[in-house]
Amino acid sequence: MPPVARYPLPVRQSPPIDTNTVLDETWVRDKTIVVTGGASGFGEAFFRRWAGDGATVVIGDINTQRGDQLVREVRKETGNPNLHFFHCDVTDWQSQVQFFKDATHVSPHGGIDTVVANAGIVDPAPALETPKGLDAPNPPPPNLAVLDVNLKGVLYTSHLALFYLAKNPQSAPADPNCDPATTVRDRHLLLMSSMAGIAPIPRQTLYATSKHAVVGLYRNLRCSSFLHGVRTNLICPYFMDTPLLTTVGRALLAGGSFGDVEDVVEAATRFVADPRVVGRAVAVGPKLKVEQDMHGQWSLVEGKGNMGEEKAIWEIYAHDFEDSEIFSRRIVGIMNRAMEIKGWTGWLKDMFAAVRYGLGGTR
């Protein structure tokens, strides 16, 4: 067969996570974890939990006052000296480069084991839903700050993560068959999307677009980050009570259920602690009592009783991934077959055309 690329590239994925198993918190100890947007909400909650578990945790945020204060407070509470804050604006490449350099500098082993691309914002007056300047002679440009933080910022973080994780001293390429008790050095990128990354969220189109893009990033990286030996995982939280939620958002959600930040922390801790978890994604919602029928369908257990189990963390893009991509798999399968039939003759012809194109000729 000619050396042509075959698509889709294989997904590297470990089996579904069993959230019923007890997590060994000692697996977090001695890891160096970097979190963007670590001064509030989930970032702060991750920081507190992993600081308590004995990890080196380095947070970056634009909120310098809160970041500094948080580090002082948690160092005192935990007695863990390996907690650090550095100013970092994720939309600014140089700022992120400096943040990663600072993180490796303070890391006891000089490397980074996990990067959490967490910083994110919502726009209280979202561009596509709140048209401005309708009377102006020229339409004003939309405010795309949400994409700057939630997409450009996450791409910068992921790019730097692949660079630094691959160079983590004494780490080996991620391996679903490793022993978590002895694999301290890791290469792990954890992306934060949202339920808005897998479903529309009316009146927050830009936010949902940015979060869909993060899901796209995850789906691509789990096919390619292993080239750097890096494992990539994803969390998609439902609405949670953090400062991100505006008053309008809270009012719209009245009567519904909020998720618990601690369940997001639990999901993230499983990903961070267990180096065998590769290419998995979870949605985290409110903890509800549910039961599963013989076909695997979940339903809410209504009323009191001992039936069912409490569940907040749900696997997504597990086996359903194959279903969701069934079209592309089939059509690409046909294209791959056509390529096979073309064989070496077709490959040489296309290579010749590519070289001619590169030399300024036509196809």
Ligand X SMILES: NC(=O)c1ccc[n+]([C@@H]2O[C@H](COP(=O)([O-])OP(=O)(O)OC[C@H]3O[C@@H](n4cnc5c(N)ncnc54)[C@H](O)[C@@H]3O)[C@@H](O)[C@H]2O)c1
- Identify the bridge partners of residue 311 per DSSP, sorted by sequence position: 288
Q: Is 63 in the site for ligand X (CB under 6 A)?
A: yes
Q: Is 243 in the site for ligand X (CB under 6 A)?
A: yes
Which residue in 156, 164, 207, 317 is the catalytic one? Answer: 207
Tell me which long-range contacts 207-210 makes (C-beta under 8 A, separation of at least 24). 207/122, 207/123, 207/126, 207/146, 207/150, 209/147, 210/120, 210/146, 210/147, 210/150, 210/151
Q: Is 3 in the site for ligand X (CB under 6 A)?
A: no
Q: Is 57 in the site for ligand X (CB under 6 A)?
A: no
Coil vs helix vs strand at 284: strand
Which residue in 31, 211, 218, 238 is the catalytic one? Answer: 211
Q: SS in 3 state form for 158-173?
A: HHHHHHHHHCCCCCCC
289 is catalytic: no
Q: Draw the binding track, 274-313, toward ligand X (x: CB under 6 A; -: no contact).
A: ----------------------------------------
Please state, as a whole number, how many other Cβ atoms lie within 10 Å of the Cβ of residue 220: 15
List Cβ neighbours of 107 (8 Å cut-off, separation of 6 or more). Answer: 32, 56, 58
Tokens in use for 204? 């927050």
Angle at 44 between CA 313 and CA 123, to 5 degrees: 85
Please answer whether residues 11 and 321 qualify as being in contact, where contact means their C-beta atoms are separated by less than 8 angstroms: yes
Q: Is 245 in the site for ligand X (CB under 6 A)?
A: yes
Question: Least distance to ligand X from the beta carbon of 117, Å?
Answer: 8
Burial 94-103 (b: 16+ CB within 10 A, else e): ebbeebbebb
Which H helix or E strand runs over 234? strand 231-237
Q: Is 147 in the site for ligand X (CB under 6 A)?
A: no
Question: Least distance to ligand X from the beta carbon of 276, Å?
Answer: 25
For ligand X (CB under 6 A), the number of binding residues is 29
* Sole window of 20-28, 118-126, 167-175, 304-312 interacting with ligand X (rule: CB under 6 A): 118-126
| CB closer to ligand X, 151 vs 339 | 151
Question: Least distance to ligand X from the beta carbon of 33, Å?
Answer: 15
* Sole window of 69-77, 243-251, 270-278, 293-301 interacting with ligand X (rule: CB under 6 A): 243-251
Coil vs helix vs strand at 314: strand
Q: Is 171 in the site for ligand X (CB under 6 A)?
A: no
Please answer whether residues 138 and 145 qualify as being in contact, where contact means their C-beta atoms are separated by less than 8 angstroms: no
Q: Is 120 in the site for ligand X (CB under 6 A)?
A: yes
Q: Is 190 in the site for ligand X (CB under 6 A)?
A: no
207 is catalytic: yes
Q: Draw the binding track, 191-230, toward ligand X (x: CB under 6 A; -: no contact).
A: -x-x------------------------------------
Catalytic residues: 207, 211
Residues at the interface with ligand X (CB under 6 A): 36-37, 39-43, 61-63, 88-91, 118-121, 149, 153, 192, 194, 237, 239-240, 242-245
